Amino acid sequence: MNRSVIILLSIILVNGCKSSQDGTKRIPVAEVGKVTLYSDEIPVLIQHGINDSDSADLYKNYINKWAKRELLLQKAEDNLTPALKNEISKQLEETRCNLLIYQYQRQMIAEKLDTVLTDSEMENYYATNEKSFILNSNIIKALFIKLPIETPDLNKIKTLARSNNHNDLQQLETLCYQFAEKFEDFNEDWVPMDRITTEFQQNIVYEEDFLKRNTFIETSDSTSEYLVSIRDYRLRASVAPYEYVKDDIKRIIWNNRRFEYIQSLENGIYNEALKKNNFKIY
């Protein structure tokens, strides 16, 4: 390791700590043209367990990267045409304006916008806009079970899985917790059918016809037995059930409120400026 770099590191650490404590003096460590890098601008690069030589390398690499960037920046400043510099200034100002407006809108939304959504409001939106919620895939309510091929009482589990009796389903759940590799109960939740079929890599070509004819899927491979008990289904191109699109409705209503509030905010500021003669058209 270059001895001068280690000495520089020591100066940065000792004098940097002093200057940060008394707040009187900044320690310069590098200079490019009229731009100076000070020790307090260098991130804390020393970590516990790193020796002096490695720490010096980290500081040296940081300073070299800083110098290359500053040199490139100064070269660009000297060589770009005035037209390009003017365009960059316009873009920077536009970005600044957009960020300020965006942050102000966020602040006002957080302070003023009503975020409470009632069930009746969401249900009314669904009822009014049913045709906007058309399924693009088949969905089902189902019970999915994956069992080792050597599971005891496998036939009993298959029988219980076909049942709709509450006591049978409780017994099934107990057995599955003992033996099943995977037990997922989607009896109350709508899920895309392919979420289930991909579990056992079975390609059902005509899903619509299959769902109309079958309520139970039983298949296996060399290690596992797969059982799917289908309790209900909805076909693609039909209206999606309310429960399936409830989260989408929340987002839609929220986005509508947000858009309407921002429009109201802009119009309110505009009208207030007109009243106070802060805005004139010549």
pLDDT in tens, the chain (282 residues): 445 444 455 555 555 444 445 556 888 989 998 899 998 888 876 656 566 677 788 888 999 999 999 999 999 999 999 999 999 999 999 999 999 999 999 999 999 998 899 999 999 999 999 999 999 999 999 999 999 999 998 999 999 999 989 999 999 999 999 999 999 999 889 999 988 888 887 778 889 999 999 999 999 888 999 999 999 999 999 999 999 999 999 999 999 999 999 999 999 999 999 998 888 888
Q: Which domains does the chain have, with CATH numbers?
A: 3-79 (no CATH), 135-234 (3.10.50.40)
Selection from 39, 30, 41, 42 nearest residue 68 by Cα: 30
Q: Evaluate whether 56 touches 9 at the Cβ level (below 8 Å).
A: yes
Selection from 215, 224, 229 nearest residue 173 by Cα: 229
To 10 degrees, the CA torsion angle through 147, 150, 153, 156? 40
Instruction: Give the tokens for residue 169.
Output: 């389903």
pLDDT at 208: 93
The model carries a pTM of 0.71
Rg (CA), the chain: 33
Length of the chain: 282
Tokens 């596992």 correspond to 224
Non-local CB neighbours of 244 within 8 Å, separated by 6+ positions: 135, 139, 190, 234
C-alpha span between 67 and 49 (Å, rounded): 28
Please tell me whether residue 7 adopts helix, strand or coil conformation. helix
C-alpha span between 124 and 1 (Å, rounded): 73
C-alpha span between 42 and 20 (Å, rounded): 13
Backbone angles phi, psi at 280, to 5 degrees: -135, 145
AA identity, residue 36: T
Please tell me whether residue 128 adopts helix, strand or coil conformation. helix
C-alpha span between 274 and 264 (Å, rounded): 15
Non-local CB neighbours of 214 within 8 Å, separated by 6+ positions: 230
